[in-house]
Copies of this chain bind each other. A is one copy, B any other.
Amino acid sequence: MAVYTEVSDEALRAFLAGYELGELVAFRGIAEGVENSNYALKTTAGDFILTLYEKRVDPTELPWFLGLMRHLAARGLACPEPVAGRDGEALRELAGRPAAICTFLPGVWPRRPSVAHCGPLGTALAALHAAGEGFSAERPNALGPQGWAPLLGRCRPNGDTVQPGLCAELDGHLESILAAWPAGLPRGQIHADLFPDNVFFLEEARGKPRVSGLIDFYFACTDILAYDVAICLNAWCFEPDLSFNVTKARALLAGYNAARPMSAAEMEALPVLCRGAALRFLLTRLYDWTNTPPGALVTRKDPLEYLRRLRFHAQAKGVSAYGV
Protein backbone atom coordinates (compact mmCIF):
# COMPACT_ATOMS: atom_id res chain seq x y z
CA MET A 1 0.00 0.00 0.00
CA ALA A 2 2.03 2.85 -1.15
CA VAL A 3 1.49 6.54 -1.08
CA TYR A 4 4.13 7.95 1.21
CA THR A 5 4.44 11.40 -0.30
CA GLU A 6 1.40 13.57 -0.93
CA VAL A 7 1.51 15.81 -3.99
CA SER A 8 -0.35 19.10 -3.89
CA ASP A 9 -2.47 19.90 -6.91
CA GLU A 10 -0.48 23.09 -7.51
CA ALA A 11 2.81 21.17 -7.48
CA LEU A 12 1.34 18.53 -9.77
CA ARG A 13 0.20 21.11 -12.31
CA ALA A 14 3.57 22.85 -12.26
CA PHE A 15 5.26 19.46 -12.72
CA LEU A 16 3.02 18.51 -15.66
CA ALA A 17 3.77 21.83 -17.33
CA GLY A 18 7.23 20.37 -17.96
CA TYR A 19 5.73 17.68 -20.21
CA GLU A 20 3.80 17.60 -23.45
CA LEU A 21 1.04 15.47 -21.98
CA GLY A 22 -1.94 17.76 -22.47
CA GLU A 23 -4.36 18.57 -19.68
CA LEU A 24 -4.68 16.82 -16.33
CA VAL A 25 -7.80 14.63 -16.16
CA ALA A 26 -7.38 12.54 -13.00
CA PHE A 27 -4.82 11.64 -10.34
CA ARG A 28 -5.29 8.82 -7.84
CA GLY A 29 -2.89 7.14 -5.45
CA ILE A 30 -2.27 3.46 -6.16
CA ALA A 31 -2.29 0.97 -3.30
CA GLU A 32 0.40 -1.23 -4.83
CA GLY A 33 4.14 -1.35 -4.61
CA VAL A 34 5.92 -1.05 -1.29
CA GLU A 35 9.06 0.96 -1.99
CA ASN A 36 7.81 4.08 -3.74
CA SER A 37 4.72 6.29 -4.02
CA ASN A 38 2.74 5.56 -7.16
CA TYR A 39 -0.10 7.54 -8.69
CA ALA A 40 -2.38 6.69 -11.58
CA LEU A 41 -2.25 9.80 -13.78
CA LYS A 42 -4.71 10.44 -16.57
CA THR A 43 -4.23 13.32 -18.99
CA THR A 44 -5.79 14.18 -22.31
CA ALA A 45 -2.82 12.25 -23.78
CA GLY A 46 -3.75 8.99 -22.02
CA ASP A 47 -2.97 6.96 -18.91
CA PHE A 48 0.37 7.10 -17.11
CA ILE A 49 1.98 6.15 -13.81
CA LEU A 50 3.72 8.82 -11.76
CA THR A 51 6.31 7.46 -9.34
CA LEU A 52 7.92 9.40 -6.51
CA TYR A 53 11.07 7.61 -5.38
CA GLU A 54 11.19 7.19 -1.63
CA LYS A 55 14.22 6.89 0.57
CA ARG A 56 14.88 3.16 0.08
CA VAL A 57 15.84 3.93 -3.52
CA ASP A 58 19.28 5.50 -4.04
CA PRO A 59 18.68 8.54 -6.28
CA THR A 60 22.06 8.11 -7.98
CA GLU A 61 20.87 4.74 -9.30
CA LEU A 62 17.68 6.09 -10.88
CA PRO A 63 19.28 7.03 -14.22
CA TRP A 64 20.40 3.38 -14.59
CA PHE A 65 16.90 2.02 -13.85
CA LEU A 66 15.18 4.49 -16.16
CA GLY A 67 17.80 3.89 -18.86
CA LEU A 68 17.25 0.13 -18.64
CA MET A 69 13.46 0.53 -18.90
CA ARG A 70 13.87 2.81 -21.91
CA HIS A 71 16.26 0.29 -23.51
CA LEU A 72 13.90 -2.65 -22.87
CA ALA A 73 10.83 -0.77 -24.10
CA ALA A 74 12.65 0.31 -27.26
CA ARG A 75 13.35 -3.38 -27.94
CA GLY A 76 9.68 -4.20 -27.71
CA LEU A 77 9.44 -5.45 -24.13
CA ALA A 78 6.11 -4.54 -22.50
CA CYS A 79 7.52 -2.55 -19.58
CA PRO A 80 6.96 0.99 -18.32
CA GLU A 81 8.66 3.46 -20.62
CA PRO A 82 9.93 6.65 -18.99
CA VAL A 83 8.33 9.73 -20.54
CA ALA A 84 10.70 12.59 -21.16
CA GLY A 85 9.76 16.17 -20.37
CA ARG A 86 9.97 19.03 -22.84
CA ASP A 87 13.68 19.30 -22.04
CA GLY A 88 14.32 15.63 -22.82
CA GLU A 89 14.74 14.64 -19.17
CA ALA A 90 12.66 11.77 -17.73
CA LEU A 91 14.04 11.95 -14.18
CA ARG A 92 12.66 15.05 -12.50
CA GLU A 93 11.69 16.26 -9.03
CA LEU A 94 8.29 16.61 -7.38
CA ALA A 95 7.36 17.27 -3.77
CA GLY A 96 11.03 17.10 -2.80
CA ARG A 97 11.45 13.61 -4.28
CA PRO A 98 12.99 12.31 -7.48
CA ALA A 99 10.04 11.55 -9.75
CA ALA A 100 9.28 10.11 -13.17
CA ILE A 101 6.25 9.52 -15.37
CA CYS A 102 6.10 6.20 -17.19
CA THR A 103 3.64 4.73 -19.65
CA PHE A 104 0.67 2.81 -18.24
CA LEU A 105 0.50 -0.93 -18.90
CA PRO A 106 -2.78 -2.78 -19.21
CA GLY A 107 -3.43 -6.04 -17.39
CA VAL A 108 -4.07 -7.56 -14.00
CA TRP A 109 -1.51 -9.24 -11.78
CA PRO A 110 -2.51 -12.75 -10.77
CA ARG A 111 -3.48 -13.03 -7.10
CA ARG A 112 -3.37 -16.81 -7.43
CA PRO A 113 -0.93 -17.75 -10.18
CA SER A 114 -1.89 -20.92 -12.02
CA VAL A 115 0.08 -23.29 -14.24
CA ALA A 116 -1.35 -21.36 -17.19
CA HIS A 117 0.49 -18.22 -16.06
CA CYS A 118 3.87 -19.90 -15.58
CA GLY A 119 4.63 -20.69 -19.22
CA PRO A 120 3.99 -17.13 -20.48
CA LEU A 121 5.90 -15.82 -17.44
CA GLY A 122 8.96 -17.89 -18.37
CA THR A 123 8.80 -16.70 -21.97
CA ALA A 124 8.45 -13.07 -20.85
CA LEU A 125 11.47 -13.44 -18.55
CA ALA A 126 13.53 -14.82 -21.44
CA ALA A 127 12.35 -11.89 -23.58
CA LEU A 128 13.48 -9.50 -20.84
CA HIS A 129 16.92 -11.12 -20.79
CA ALA A 130 17.19 -10.92 -24.58
CA ALA A 131 16.02 -7.32 -24.66
CA GLY A 132 18.62 -6.40 -22.03
CA GLU A 133 21.46 -7.33 -24.39
CA GLY A 134 23.23 -4.24 -25.59
CA PHE A 135 22.52 -2.28 -22.41
CA SER A 136 26.14 -2.16 -21.42
CA ALA A 137 26.08 -0.23 -18.15
CA GLU A 138 26.37 -2.66 -15.26
CA ARG A 139 24.71 -2.43 -11.87
CA PRO A 140 26.14 -4.86 -9.30
CA ASN A 141 23.55 -6.86 -7.36
CA ALA A 142 23.69 -5.39 -3.88
CA LEU A 143 21.49 -8.26 -2.69
CA GLY A 144 23.62 -10.91 -4.43
CA PRO A 145 25.93 -13.50 -2.85
CA GLN A 146 28.44 -10.92 -1.61
CA GLY A 147 25.64 -9.16 0.25
CA TRP A 148 24.23 -12.14 2.12
CA ALA A 149 26.85 -12.52 4.86
CA PRO A 150 26.68 -8.83 5.90
CA LEU A 151 22.85 -8.97 5.75
CA LEU A 152 22.79 -12.09 7.92
CA GLY A 153 25.10 -10.27 10.31
CA ARG A 154 22.61 -7.42 10.61
CA CYS A 155 19.83 -9.97 11.30
CA ARG A 156 21.83 -11.76 13.98
CA PRO A 157 20.87 -9.61 17.00
CA ASN A 158 17.15 -10.43 16.64
CA GLY A 159 17.00 -13.28 14.14
CA ASP A 160 16.57 -16.07 16.65
CA THR A 161 13.55 -14.33 18.20
CA VAL A 162 11.68 -15.31 15.04
CA GLN A 163 12.64 -18.96 15.44
CA PRO A 164 15.19 -20.44 17.87
CA GLY A 165 18.32 -21.60 16.08
CA LEU A 166 17.42 -19.74 12.89
CA CYS A 167 20.72 -17.85 12.52
CA ALA A 168 22.79 -21.00 13.00
CA GLU A 169 20.74 -22.81 10.37
CA LEU A 170 21.18 -19.88 7.99
CA ASP A 171 24.94 -19.83 8.63
CA GLY A 172 25.05 -23.44 7.44
CA HIS A 173 22.98 -22.75 4.34
CA LEU A 174 25.00 -19.65 3.47
CA GLU A 175 28.30 -21.49 3.70
CA SER A 176 27.18 -24.34 1.46
CA ILE A 177 25.50 -22.01 -1.05
CA LEU A 178 28.58 -19.81 -1.41
CA ALA A 179 30.79 -22.90 -1.76
CA ALA A 180 28.61 -24.20 -4.60
CA TRP A 181 27.83 -20.87 -6.26
CA PRO A 182 28.42 -21.25 -10.00
CA ALA A 183 30.98 -19.28 -11.99
CA GLY A 184 30.99 -18.66 -15.71
CA LEU A 185 27.24 -18.79 -16.35
CA PRO A 186 25.76 -16.24 -18.81
CA ARG A 187 25.18 -12.85 -17.21
CA GLY A 188 23.10 -9.88 -18.19
CA GLN A 189 20.44 -7.46 -16.98
CA ILE A 190 18.04 -9.26 -14.63
CA HIS A 191 14.81 -8.11 -13.05
CA ALA A 192 15.64 -9.75 -9.68
CA ASP A 193 12.16 -9.22 -8.19
CA LEU A 194 9.71 -10.72 -10.68
CA PHE A 195 6.98 -11.68 -8.22
CA PRO A 196 3.36 -12.09 -9.37
CA ASP A 197 2.45 -8.49 -8.44
CA ASN A 198 5.05 -7.30 -10.95
CA VAL A 199 3.59 -9.19 -13.92
CA PHE A 200 0.38 -8.14 -15.63
CA PHE A 201 -1.67 -10.53 -17.71
CA LEU A 202 -4.58 -10.19 -20.09
CA GLU A 203 -6.65 -13.06 -21.39
CA GLU A 204 -6.69 -14.10 -24.98
CA ALA A 205 -9.83 -15.29 -26.68
CA ARG A 206 -10.01 -18.75 -25.12
CA GLY A 207 -9.14 -17.62 -21.60
CA LYS A 208 -5.43 -18.25 -22.12
CA PRO A 209 -3.37 -15.69 -20.19
CA ARG A 210 -0.70 -13.71 -21.97
CA VAL A 211 1.78 -11.32 -20.35
CA SER A 212 0.79 -7.69 -20.97
CA GLY A 213 3.49 -6.04 -18.90
CA LEU A 214 6.43 -6.39 -16.53
CA ILE A 215 6.83 -3.64 -13.95
CA ASP A 216 8.92 -2.44 -10.99
CA PHE A 217 12.50 -2.60 -12.21
CA TYR A 218 13.96 -1.02 -9.07
CA PHE A 219 15.82 -4.15 -7.99
CA ALA A 220 17.11 -4.83 -11.51
CA CYS A 221 20.85 -5.43 -11.74
CA THR A 222 23.56 -7.22 -13.69
CA ASP A 223 23.86 -10.83 -12.61
CA ILE A 224 23.54 -14.48 -13.67
CA LEU A 225 20.52 -14.79 -15.98
CA ALA A 226 19.53 -18.17 -14.56
CA TYR A 227 19.42 -16.59 -11.09
CA ASP A 228 16.39 -14.60 -12.33
CA VAL A 229 14.80 -17.93 -13.30
CA ALA A 230 15.54 -19.23 -9.80
CA ILE A 231 13.85 -16.18 -8.25
CA CYS A 232 10.75 -16.90 -10.36
CA LEU A 233 10.76 -20.57 -9.36
CA ASN A 234 10.64 -19.40 -5.74
CA ALA A 235 8.04 -16.70 -6.32
CA TRP A 236 5.64 -18.55 -8.65
CA CYS A 237 5.88 -22.30 -8.08
CA PHE A 238 5.11 -22.76 -4.39
CA GLU A 239 1.49 -23.19 -3.34
CA PRO A 240 -0.02 -21.21 -0.44
CA ASP A 241 0.75 -24.21 1.82
CA LEU A 242 4.38 -23.93 0.60
CA SER A 243 4.31 -27.25 -1.22
CA PHE A 244 6.27 -27.10 -4.48
CA ASN A 245 4.17 -27.41 -7.64
CA VAL A 246 6.43 -29.18 -10.07
CA THR A 247 3.93 -28.72 -12.91
CA LYS A 248 4.26 -24.95 -12.54
CA ALA A 249 8.06 -25.26 -12.50
CA ARG A 250 8.03 -27.39 -15.62
CA ALA A 251 5.79 -24.85 -17.39
CA LEU A 252 7.97 -21.94 -16.31
CA LEU A 253 11.18 -23.62 -17.46
CA ALA A 254 9.61 -24.79 -20.72
CA GLY A 255 8.39 -21.24 -21.43
CA TYR A 256 11.82 -19.81 -20.69
CA ASN A 257 13.77 -22.46 -22.62
CA ALA A 258 11.52 -22.07 -25.66
CA ALA A 259 12.66 -18.45 -26.00
CA ARG A 260 16.19 -18.69 -24.60
CA PRO A 261 17.38 -22.28 -24.18
CA MET A 262 19.44 -22.63 -21.03
CA SER A 263 22.72 -24.53 -21.26
CA ALA A 264 23.26 -27.75 -19.36
CA ALA A 265 25.46 -25.82 -16.92
CA GLU A 266 22.66 -23.33 -16.26
CA MET A 267 20.10 -26.08 -15.72
CA GLU A 268 22.40 -27.96 -13.39
CA ALA A 269 23.00 -24.81 -11.37
CA LEU A 270 19.27 -24.24 -10.75
CA PRO A 271 19.12 -25.95 -7.33
CA VAL A 272 21.89 -23.82 -5.82
CA LEU A 273 20.60 -20.69 -7.56
CA CYS A 274 17.17 -21.43 -6.04
CA ARG A 275 18.76 -21.86 -2.61
CA GLY A 276 20.48 -18.50 -3.03
CA ALA A 277 17.30 -16.80 -4.17
CA ALA A 278 15.36 -18.22 -1.21
CA LEU A 279 18.08 -17.05 1.18
CA ARG A 280 18.08 -13.57 -0.36
CA PHE A 281 14.33 -13.04 0.22
CA LEU A 282 14.49 -14.76 3.59
CA LEU A 283 17.21 -12.36 4.77
CA THR A 284 15.56 -9.13 3.65
CA ARG A 285 12.23 -10.27 5.11
CA LEU A 286 13.94 -11.31 8.33
CA TYR A 287 15.64 -7.93 8.60
CA ASP A 288 12.39 -6.08 7.94
CA TRP A 289 10.48 -8.37 10.33
CA THR A 290 12.82 -7.67 13.22
CA ASN A 291 13.41 -3.99 12.42
CA THR A 292 9.97 -2.65 11.48
CA PRO A 293 8.68 -0.43 14.27
CA PRO A 294 5.23 -1.35 15.57
CA GLY A 295 2.59 0.82 13.93
CA ALA A 296 4.54 1.31 10.71
CA LEU A 297 2.29 1.51 7.67
CA VAL A 298 3.75 -1.52 5.97
CA THR A 299 2.71 -5.13 5.93
CA ARG A 300 5.60 -7.29 7.07
CA LYS A 301 6.10 -10.48 5.12
CA ASP A 302 6.79 -13.68 7.00
CA PRO A 303 10.48 -14.64 6.58
CA LEU A 304 9.82 -18.25 7.56
CA GLU A 305 7.94 -18.87 4.32
CA TYR A 306 11.33 -18.59 2.67
CA LEU A 307 12.97 -20.91 5.18
CA ARG A 308 10.49 -23.56 3.98
CA ARG A 309 11.46 -22.84 0.39
CA LEU A 310 15.18 -22.89 1.23
CA ARG A 311 14.84 -26.28 2.90
CA PHE A 312 12.99 -27.63 -0.14
CA HIS A 313 15.76 -26.54 -2.48
CA ALA A 314 18.45 -27.84 -0.10
CA GLN A 315 16.87 -31.28 -0.33
CA ALA A 316 16.55 -31.20 -4.12
CA LYS A 317 18.62 -33.93 -5.69
CA GLY A 318 19.52 -32.11 -8.87
CA VAL A 319 17.41 -30.27 -11.42
CA SER A 320 15.03 -33.23 -11.69
CA ALA A 321 13.36 -31.85 -8.54
CA TYR A 322 12.09 -29.02 -10.76
CA GLY A 323 10.33 -31.32 -13.17
CA VAL A 324 13.06 -31.49 -15.78
Contact B30 A111 (CB under 8 A): no
Pick the residue among B8, B31, B296 that contacts A31 (CB under 8 A).
Answer: B31
B contact residues around A42 at 8 Å (CB): 47, 106
A26→B106 CA distance, assembly (Å): 5
A46-62 to B contact mask, C-beta < 8 Å, 1/0 = 01000000000000000
A106-137: CB near B (< 8 Å → 1, else 0) gives 11111110000000000000000000000000
| Contact residues in B for A203 (Cβ distance below 8 Å) | 13, 23-24
Q: Which residue of B lies closest to A114 (CB)?
A: B10
The 7 closest A-B CB pairs, nearest first, are A29-B31, A31-B31, A8-B111, A1-B1, A3-B31, A27-B108, A25-B106
How many copies of this chain are found per oligomer? Answer: 2
A24 engages B112 (CB within 8 Å): no
Chain B residue nearest to A95 (CB atoms) is B111
Q: Given that A9-B112, A108-B9, A201-B9 are contacting pairs, would A29 and B32 also be in contact in the complex, using a CB cutoff of 8 Å?
A: yes
The CA-CA distance from A29 to B39 in the complex, in Å, is 11
Offer 16 A-B interface pairs, CB within 8 angstroms, sorted by A: A2-B31, A6-B111, A7-B111, A8-B111, A8-B112, A9-B109, A9-B111, A9-B112, A13-B203, A23-B203, A24-B108, A25-B106, A27-B108, A30-B40, A294-B294, A297-B297
Is A162's CB within 8 Å of the partner chain B? no
Could you tell me if A32 and B28 are in contact, using CB atoms closer than 8 angstroms?
Answer: yes
How many chain A residues touch B (CB < 8 A): the figure is 41
Instruction: Flag if B110 contacts A9 (CB, 8 Å).
Output: yes
**Residue of B at shortest CB range from A40?**
B40
**Any chain B CB within 8 A of the CB of A291?**
no
Q: Is the CB of B27 within 8 A of A30?
A: no
Tell me which residues across on chain B come within 8 A of A3, comparing CB atoms.
1, 31
User: Any chain B CB within 8 A of the CB of A165?
Assistant: no
12 more A-B contacts (CB under 8 A) besides A1-B29, A12-B108, A31-B31? Answer: A1-B31, A2-B31, A3-B31, A8-B111, A9-B111, A26-B107, A27-B108, A28-B30, A30-B40, A42-B106, A295-B295, A297-B299
B-facing residues in A284-324 (Cβ within 8 Å): 294-297, 299
